[in-house]
Amino acid sequence: MQDLDELLRIDKDSIWHPYSSMSSDLPVYHVDSATGVLLKLNNGQELIDGMSSWWSVIHGYNHPQMNLALEEQLKDMAHVMFGGLTHTPAIQLTEKLIAITPDSLDAVFYSDSGSVAVEVAMKMAIQYWHAKGKPSRQRFISLRSGYHGDTLGAMSVCDPDTGMHSLFSGVLPEQIFIEQPQCRFGEPCTDNDIAALKKALTKYGENCAALIIEPIVQGAGGMWFYSADYVKQARKLCDEHNVLLIFDEIATGFGRTGQLFACEHADVVPDIMCIGKALTGGYLSLAATLTTRDIHVTIDSGEPGVFMHGPTFMANPLACSAALTSIRLLVESDWQKNINRIQRSLEDGLAPCRQLTQVSDVRVLGGIGVVELKEAVDMKMIVPKFVEAGVWLRPFGKLVYVMPPYIISNDDLATLTSVMVAVIADS
């Protein structure tokens, strides 16, 4: 068996980690095991995970019922192609997703990741308009500071200037970007807030396939929480201009904002919705794109008579089984009361940051707590400080944020927030 030093040498020499350089001197921590909300490092140190492994591990690690579901599914099959074949976990998961998502979303397409779910949504919108005899409708309207994934199509609707993909600008399809709404969550949306969207739809609507937004919460593009009223008005404007509305709920779905899906804050139903991340409780990669009967019937009735996408591992039985169990664990619990508990703890625990001179804003919604600094964080300094204090957080840009597993205790929440306050105060 290889010793740890040799493993870490291979890691440093040969593995690219997300948004990092192999020549970087940023530390990488070796995790031996994980249980509940704790990550156990190779040196025996335990870290409280404040990231839910990028927002996916909502029930914590090594959950006995999740483990059992995968063990039982393995007895039948780990995988089978979905072309021309089907299986019970996929059928049951589809039935469950249609039941818990907003009414009128009644067709499901499975893919491997959130980025691909967005690609699928964009292709659905384009193919829909092609089948309707309007092939010129190929562009998308998107909000600045938005983030929708790392594949080429998804990158094209991420923020073109401040986003992570600006260097690809000459390669990506040219989309239409409007300013993010400045009306905060809980506030009304003014005429000024919605004016940019009105203008864009009036000018470009006839050539647009869809408006794509992250409802209520803009995630990796800036962790911004905006008015539900904006979402309501966006739905109305899309209907008036005959433009489809796509919701990217990959980060917000499955309870994170205090509603099962963020669009429920606005009581609005999209034409297409993307989900992922917490779908399987963080156990396996799986995403889905849901749409309406009108869209899937129109696509099926047009040329070439099929939807043009089909991943090799589409609707993987293990992943579907994990998703079914994760959804059951969530909806059968008093999850809203639990999210409210987390929100109160984050509000109380992060409140002292409002008094720090280096902090420009503190915002909390559901199981999301964000401290926005006036200057970008120094990752080489701040991450080791968090680890030394026994927590795992992964800031980016000017943002130090927390999105813990839903099973986290009040004591661990208090530790997370107190460490955030102390490290930020010392930065």
334's CB contacts (< 8 A; 6+ apart) are none
Alpha helices in 245-356 (DSSP H): 293-301, 317-331, 335-350
Q: How far, in Å, CA of 423 to CA of 145, rounded?
A: 26
Could you say which of 49, 128, 229, 277 is catalytic?
Answer: 277
- Annotation says 277 is catalytic: yes
Sign of CA dihedral 294, 296, 299, 300: negative
- Annotation says 110 is catalytic: no
Mean pLDDT by 10 residues, the chain (427 residues): 88 91 88 98 97 98 98 98 98 98 97 98 98 97 96 95 78 95 97 98 97 97 96 98 98 98 98 98 98 97 95 98 98 98 98 98 98 96 97 97 98 98 95
Could you say which of 248, 271, 406, 412 is catalytic?
Answer: 248
Question: For position 254, what pLDDT does the model report?
Answer: 98
Residue 58 and residue 405 in contact, taking contact as beta carbons nearer than 8 Å: yes
Q: How far, in Å, CA of 258 to CA of 260, rounded?
A: 7
Question: Among residues 73, 46, 49, 69, which one has the least CA distance to residue 61?
Answer: 49
92's CB contacts (< 8 A; 6+ apart) are 320, 324
Residue 272 and residue 210 in contact, taking contact as beta carbons nearer than 8 Å: yes
Alpha carbon 224 to chain centroid, angstroms: 13
Question: For position 166, what pLDDT does the model report?
Answer: 78
Question: For position 23, what pLDDT does the model report?
Answer: 84
2's CB contacts (< 8 A; 6+ apart) are none
Exposure string over 320-336, b if 16+ CB within 10 A, otherwise e: bbbbbbbbebbeeeebe
Question: For position 93, what pLDDT does the model report?
Answer: 98
Could you say which of 19, 161, 191, 334 is catalytic?
Answer: 19
Question: Among residues 262, 261, 254, 258, which one has the least CA distance to residue 217?
Answer: 262
Strand ranges across the sheet with 359-365: 359-365, 368-373, 399-402
Could you say which of 61, 110, 128, 147 is catalytic?
Answer: 147
Domains in the chain: ranges and CATH? 68-331 (3.40.640.10), 335-399 (3.90.1150.10)
- Annotation says 248 is catalytic: yes
- Give the chain's length: 427
Q: What is the dihedral of CA 90, 278, 411, 373, to 10 degrees?
A: 180
**Token pair recorded at residue 220:** 């990796």
| 304 upstream amide cis, omega within 30 of 0 | yes
Question: In this predicted model, what pLDDT tens digit does every residue of 212-224 receive, in sequence order?
Answer: 999 999 999 899 9
Alpha carbon 150 to chain centroid, angstroms: 12
Alpha helices in 162-245 (DSSP H): 191-204, 228-241
Question: In this predicted model, what pLDDT tens digit does every residue of 92-136 receive, in sequence order?
Answer: 999 999 999 999 999 999 999 999 999 999 999 999 999 999 999
SS (H, E, C) 110-139: EECCHHHHHHHHHHHHHHHHHHCCCCCCCE
